[in-house]
Amino acid sequence: MNNKMEKYKQIRNFSRELNHKILDSIVEKNNMMSAGRLLGLVSNDTFVFNDENDMNVMMDFILHEFEIKENKNYIKIYFEKEKYNNIEREILKSYLNSYTSLFEIVDNNSDTASVILKDIFKKKNKIELIDFGLSSTGRKKLLLYLRVIPIDSYYITSGISFLFPENKKDIILLRYRKELKKLKKIPEKNLEFISFYRLYKSFGLDVQFK
């Protein structure tokens, strides 16, 4: 196992613990409910999760997307005010430099857990993603809406992935533009994430990666 794969496993384990620490220490229930309503995961003041993926989406959204005050999300607030160790500091800094986009798989190698992605929206250079599951089962041209987190010269995911068929790119982009027009009351910063989550719920692929 190479150094990238070893560090990936370490960061993944620590990040799970850190996420729960942030949720338990500073995330207020009323903000959880507000975030859940934006995602359509609250009914009659009760969370409604159809599966574990909905719970993961909720966690990702409340930590990274939902802004509390002064354009700060919970990651930023925790980074500025709380105490943490060196590994957690590294993860938090990476979180703050993470971003979401629609990607297309260019190539993958299960031996090195490497996936090469092309960013459909931001037109950046191709990026390398380290992911054990996706590197084994992902297909070329498969479309994924991801939050990618920089680690050294490569990236990892935040743990969520909205997958779409490789032959539906034009349809997905058209539907995305239509979703944006529907979501008039959604904060602008959250439009992209919520739109793709809705598209995923409608006709995404039910695939889990680690």
Instruction: Using a cut of 0.95, tell me whether the model's pTM lies above it.
Output: no
Asked if 31 and 65 count as a contact pair (C-beta separation under 8 A), the reply is no
Q: At what angle do helices 191-203 and 169-182 cross, to 10 degrees?
A: 120
Band (pLDDT 50/70/90 cuts) for residue 210 is: very low
Termini Cα distance of the chain: 16
What pLDDT score was predicted for residue 186?
Answer: 87
Are 43 and 112 contained in the same domain? no
- Among residues 46, 73, 96, the one where a domain terminates is 96
pLDDT averaged over the chain? 91
Residue linked to tokens 């613990």: 17
Are 131 and 194 contained in the same domain? yes
In the chain, the number of structural domains is 2
Residue 129 CA to residue 105 CA, distance in Å, equals 10
Are 149 and 188 contained in the same domain? yes
Nearest C-alpha neighbor of 144 from the set 111, 121, 110: 121
The length of the chain, given as a count of residues? 210
